[in-house]
Amino acid sequence: MNHQVSSPMSVTMDRPSGRVLVTGALGQIGTELVEALRQKHGHEAVIATDIRKAEGCQILDVMNKKEIHKLVTEQEITEIYHLAALLSATGEKNPELCWDINVIGLENVIAAAKKNNARLFSPSSIAVFGPDCPNIAPQITPLNPSTVYGRTKVVGEQLAMTSGIDMRGIRYPGLISYKAPAGGGTTDYAVEIFHHALKNGYYECFVREDTKLPMMYMDDAIRATIELMDFPLEKLSESRGGYNISGCSFTVGELVKSIQRHLPDFICTYNPDIRQTYADSWPDEIEDDIAKKEWGWSPRFDLDRIVDEMIINLEN
């Protein structure tokens, strides 16, 4: 991957030897990752797929093993970003479907990658940690999640090390972005709050004011993903199935205060639901010394900068 070929286009584009496939491309991450990959490799080299229909995106259900094989073989796919999944809130409402899509779907993609010698990026999550994890989560610690969603992510990390392919992942924190809505997770409040603040000046939050979780701006997450995939495999350790990366951690109360710098009349009230228990089972902060040391990870966005970017972009 990523070698320069001697065509005029290669002056600005880093062309993969084959094509790049993105599953779940219409989601919160896919919307921005496809854009970034197309900028890097050229529009034609990146095939966006999802179970939903949209312009510029092919239909591909990751439960359909035969179709995945066909597409990966016919399109000469050499790199896959597998984003199709159910997130924590949707997943806990339908645990069997969550297991099927997140684990069987991943196994289907791994099988196709293996047959075609493709590299694979498959995201993990801070949901791999459970209530026994220290408040500041180390990279290496027992993984005993209390959610089915978290368990599917632990299996994903294990498959990265046992599947025999070049497979990598990141334990993404809650991701904050403005281009696409958050897709049914516990950390969705940190995205929804901006839309409600700007539209109504009011938000009823489904977790408590003192709930503190690791969060990250989407630009940092996309850059981390591409930087990790660009790094030589032999320089990565056994953490490659799911690297801890830290952006910033804050409580909802701190987020509200930061938004009030722009919108002083904004009011947030609190009405915790079942998602509070998922949030309570996850760590407050993430220790990312291994990602920093191994492949040079470094975040760029703190809380106030995220809030400034969100408000400016949603207002326009």
Chain residues that interact with ligand NAD, rule: CB under 6 A: 23-24, 26-30, 50-52, 60-63, 83-85, 87, 101, 105, 123, 125, 172, 174-175, 183-185, 187
CA angle 104, 46, 310 (to 5 degrees): 85
Residue with tokens 């993105």: 22
If binding is defined by CB under 6 A, does position 174 make contact with ligand AKB?
A: yes
CA distance 209 to 204: 11
Binds 283, which of ligand NAD, ligand AKB, none (CB < 5 to 8 A, cut-off by type)? none
Choose from ligand AKB, ligand NAD, none: what does 177 bind? Cβ within 5-8 Å by kind: none
- Is 186 a binding residue for ligand AKB by CB under 6 A? The answer is yes
125 touches ligand AKB by CB under 6 A: yes
* 49, 59 contact by CB (below 8 A): yes
Q: Using the 8-state DSSP alphabet, how is residue 133 labeled?
A: S
C-alpha to C-alpha distance for 87 and 85, rounded to whole angstroms: 6
Residues whose CB is less than 8 angstroms from the CB of residue 269 and which lie 6 or more positions away in sequence, other chains included? 202, 203, 204, 205
87 binds ligand AKB (CB under 6 A): yes
Q: From ligand AKB, ligand NAD, none, which one binds at residue 246 (CB under 5 to 8 Å depending on kind)? A: none
Active-site residue, 149 included:
yes
Decide if residue 62 touches ligand AKB (CB under 6 A): no
Residue 28 binding partner per list ligand NAD, ligand AKB, none, with a CB distance cut-off of 5 to 8 Å that depends on partner kind? ligand NAD
127 part of the interface to ligand AKB, by CB under 6 A? yes
Question: From CA 256, how far away is CA 270, in angstroms rounded?
Answer: 12
Q: Which of 81, 149, 178, 189 is catalytic?
A: 149
Run of H or E residues at 310: helix 303-315
Provide, rounded to whole angstroms, the least separation between the CB of residue 218 and ligand AKB: 12
Q: Quick one: which of 42, 145, 156, 185 contacts ligand AKB (CB under 6 A)?
A: 185
Indicate the Cα dihedral angle 82, 213, 192, 85, nearest 10°: 20
> Could you tell me the smallest distance in angstroms from the CB atom of residue 281 to ligand NAD?
14
**Residue 132 CA: distances (Å) to CA of 123, 289, 298:** 22, 21, 27
- List of E strands, 155-211: 167-168, 170-172, 174-176, 202-205
Whichever of 165 and 245 has its CB closer to ligand NAD, that residue is: 245
Would you tell me which residues interact with ligand AKB (CB under 6 A)? Answer: 87-88, 125-127, 174, 185-187
